[in-house]
Structure 1
Amino acid sequence: MTDPSAVAGPFGAYGPFDRVRPEYGGDSLADLLPSVLAVLGVPGATDPLGLVGQLDGVRRIAVLLVDGLGWYQLPTAAPHAPVLADLAARTGRPLTSGFPSTTPTSLVTLGTGAAPGAHGVLGFRLNVPGSDRILTHINWSGAAGDPRTPDPDPRRWQPLPTQLELAEAAGVAVTVVSRPEYAVSGLTVAANSGGVYRGAAGVDALATEMLAALAAGPGPTLVSGYHPDLDQQGHLAGVDSIAWRAAAAELDRLLDRLVHGLPADAALLVTADHGQLNVPPDRRFDLDLDPRLRAGVRVVAGEARVRYLHTEPGATDDVLATWTEVLGPAAWVAPRAEAVAAGWFGPVSEEHLARIGDVVVCCQESYVILASRTEAPMEAKLVAYHGSWTATEMTIPLLFAHH
């Protein structure tokens, strides 16, 4: 096996398929909100990103997370998004996402200011320990599908306070602006508890609600916004497709409104949860169509770029050997203990260890491992994917605008 901690080149200077380690505690998504809270004067808040000096005099901050806007997508988007291109050229710096580089993990990493091993949302799908059940975090709901009764309880599944709660407790006016249908989801509770929730169904509503919340009161203010459309079009049509370019132009309209609508003492910070890469048809394995990959596996979790394999008793070594042989250079295959020791998740608390598979499979270059029969059929038809550790997926931007 290749050592997953070996990375060539300094941070920010990787090739698109090079492995990038999460920079927890320095230059990662987990460090953004703690630094924002330090700017807003929250007692005890640290400033690992050094924002206090850059945002001197700022009392209101809007943080916009653009789903799927990786650092490596900025040049591709630039011809269709001049405001974004200008922000990137003048203020852009790279951060890393957490690992896996997937939306639920990143949203909770941002919201808690903690690495995935601490907050426990360690992937897109996780096996609920002690059962064969799979929890899909983006549609986290109760057994009857009622989003008002998420199961497991997100307050137990994700035990940390959010940075929004800490800010609110310190007297900061806190608002979350996102799609109306996300208001009571388990993922929202886990990632964004704290403050007032404002539903916004599209670009114009998102800009209006974020700016209104930013200007609502005289004191320190934090507004957290979320925009999903670029990611959706990347998945469905591919990065740099006509639909993706149109989504980039819509994002630019949002940024234009936000930048030019900022109050005098406000700043806008733009970041992302992950990047994306297009996957050719000939780089797709399907574990549901290959009996070798199903042998000895009790539950498959994760997603197409990072798989967690929960094995039958006594089958872990055989599963490791088989997956290593079948996948070859397409993936890194390792036991849980090796993946945890390599630091990809940050320190993993004892209560969260069993959520990671007995075997961890990380796709390299532009390969995926599909499950066409046991997961939603649409997932096997996507064009772009993310989740693994390549620079394209792991490297995200931090952009600034303020008066």
Structure 2
Amino acid sequence: MDAGAAEGEVGFDNPAHVAGALSDVLPAIGAALGVPGLSGPGADTSNASMRDGLGQLHPVRRACLFLVDGMGSELILKHADAAPYLAALLRNGPQDIGPQGVGRRLTAGFPSTTSTSLSSVGTGLPPGAHGMLGYKLMVPGTGRLMNFLKWDQDVDPLRWQPRETMFERLHRAGVEVTHVSSPRFAESGLTRSVFRGARFCGAEPPDVRAERALQAMEGPEPALVYLYYSDLDFVGHAAGTGSQAWRDQLGYVDALVQWFAERLPQDSSLYVIADHGMLDVPTEHRIDADTDLELRAGVALLGGEARARHVYAHPGAARDVLAIWTERLDGVATVRCREDAIAEGWFGPDVDPRMRDRIGDVVVAMREDWAVVASEREVVESRLIGMHGSMTAAERLVPLLEVRG
């Protein structure tokens, strides 16, 4: 989606993964840390999309990449009174570097969801290359769906995502890499799939994690710390982004980022990003695929999530499913067959042939604040207030904020 498009638009003229995308962040930080082959005319492009999407970041010895789940740039500006420090950083463009830092907007890939975006960050690859193409996908040859935040014990994370991660690459180049997050993520499939190569440090609560991240930046060697915060996303889903509970969470993140920035060691930088934004979906804009007989016809499995669906058809029914979903969702969604979604660049400039069968026979990107829920198959997800996954500015535009020590 073009970064200048209005909220609610769905567009494919400037796919997120071409320039200024989440997949560009760690390669750019690696180049700032002095790792060869990650920027400039001789850059190795075998493990990333475009090295020049972010331009050159300021050279540093140590860096912390702080990812706040669900903190879209549009939400920061909309609630600037609750997040004055973050909003001030975001409003400082690259030409306005000052003592506070600098901010810009990036675009998340499609779907704009945690498993996909974290994979783009961790691998430096667009979705079509790393294969984490949604919240829930069919595992080819099994006839069953896998939730990538929960994983399936029968699926080997290293086989599902076989590409070298940026953490492995940086570690191989002599950078000390630390992943600081909640202890419950230590051995998750997602961690093993896209964050391998980093030393995992589990800590609770979030302020203790921030302290651990700072401690990991104190050594003399080049260092990268990846710090993850999930509570803002959780509250947004449960209470909505217009709730006081969500604004309180945003205020906490704002204070935590400022606390961290004020304690940065010399010759270091803090980078704050998000995996996606979020919007609230009203009850009257929810179409229930479990009670809608038209949308059930010919469908074997319903993957993805309410704002970005992968629809897997019964053998021989794909064409009919495409026609039905296109007509039924006319005006509230963009609907494509797998081949057209790939050709239009929904998942990046190229899709690895090994990943194609993971994509639904029909792919759906919801417009405005509409959603296709499944009240019987996805009881909890169907009750969420805040949702994400599609291509609106509220979901796909995310911040990249830089503060130098």
Same fold (TM over 0.5): yes
Match of 1:60 in 2: 62
Alignment of 1:318-333 (within 5 A): 318-333=320-335
Q: 1:239–1:384: 8 Å Cα contact kept in structure 2?
A: yes
In the alignment, structure 1 residue 24 sits paired with structure 2 residue 22: no
Match of 1:45 in 2: 38
1:263 maps to a residue whose letter is P
In the alignment, structure 1 residue 203 sits paired with structure 2 residue 214: no
1:335 maps to a residue whose letter is C
Distance 2:67 2:393 in 1: 19
Give the C-alpha shift of residue 51 in structure 1: 5.2
- Structure 1 consecutive aligned stretches of length 4 or more whose deviation exceeds 6 Å: none
Q: 1:60–1:222: 8 Å Cα contact kept in structure 2?
A: yes
Match of 1:114 in 2: 125
Give the C-alpha shift of residue 49 in structure 1: 4.1
1:100 maps to a residue whose letter is P
Closer, same or farther: CA 212–20 of 1 in aligned 2, 3 Å: farther
> Once superposed, what is the RMSD of the aligned Cα atoms?
1.3
Gaps of 5+ in 1: 1-6, 143-150
In the alignment, structure 1 residue 14 sits paired with structure 2 residue 5: yes
Closer, same or farther: CA 51–221 of 1 in aligned 2, 3 Å: farther
Per-residue CA deviation, residues 130-181 of structure 1 (Å, 9 max, x unaligned), is 1221110001142xxxxxxxx3101010111110110000100000011110
Match of 1:277 in 2: 279
2:69 maps to a residue whose letter is D
Secondary structure, aligned partner of 1:299: strand
Match of 1:105 in 2: 116
TM-score (ref. length: structure 2) = 0.92
Distance 1:307 1:89 in 2: 34
Per-residue CA deviation, residues 292-317 of structure 1 (Å, 9 max, x unaligned), is 11111111111101111111111112
Give the C-alpha shift of residue 77 in structure 1: 3.0
Percent sequence identity over aligned pairs: 45
Give the C-alpha shift of residue 330 in structure 1: 1.1
Distance 1:167 1:60 in 2: 12
Per-residue CA deviation, residues 181-203 of structure 1 (Å, 9 max, x unaligned), is 00100001112111211112222
Per-residue CA deviation, residues 186-239 of structure 1 (Å, 9 max, x unaligned), is 001112111211112222112111101111x20111000111111111111111
Match of 1:129 in 2: 140
Per-residue CA deviation, residues 331-367 of structure 1 (Å, 9 max, x unaligned), is 1111100000001111111111010011111111111
Q: 1:285–1:370: 8 Å Cα contact kept in structure 2?
A: yes
1:275 maps to a residue whose letter is G
Secondary structure, aligned partner of 1:108: helix
Secondary structure, aligned partner of 1:138: coil
Per-residue CA deviation, residues 228-279 of structure 1 (Å, 9 max, x unaligned), is 1111111111112111011011101210221011001110000110110111
Secondary structure, aligned partner of 1:225: strand
Secondary structure, aligned partner of 1:139: coil
Q: 1:203–1:251: 8 Å Cα contact kept in structure 2?
A: no
In the alignment, structure 1 residue 158 sits paired with structure 2 residue 158: no
2:28 maps to a residue whose letter is S
Distance 1:310 1:378 in 2: 21
TM-score (ref. length: structure 1) = 0.92
In the alignment, structure 1 residue 176 sits paired with structure 2 residue 179: yes
Distance 1:359 1:304 in 2: 14
2:323 maps to a residue whose letter is A
> Which among 203, 213, 217 is matched to residue 216 of structure 2?
213
Secondary structure, aligned partner of 2:322: helix
Distance 2:326 2:91 in 1: 42
Gaps of 5+ in 2: 40-50, 93-101
| More deviation, 337-346/325-334 | 325-334
Q: 2:295–2:324: 8 Å Cα contact kept in structure 1?
A: yes
In the alignment, structure 1 residue 248 sits paired with structure 2 residue 250: yes
Distance 2:228 2:172 in 1: 23
Closer, same or farther: CA 12–325 of 1 in aligned 2, 3 Å: closer
In the alignment, structure 1 residue 361 sits paired with structure 2 residue 364: yes
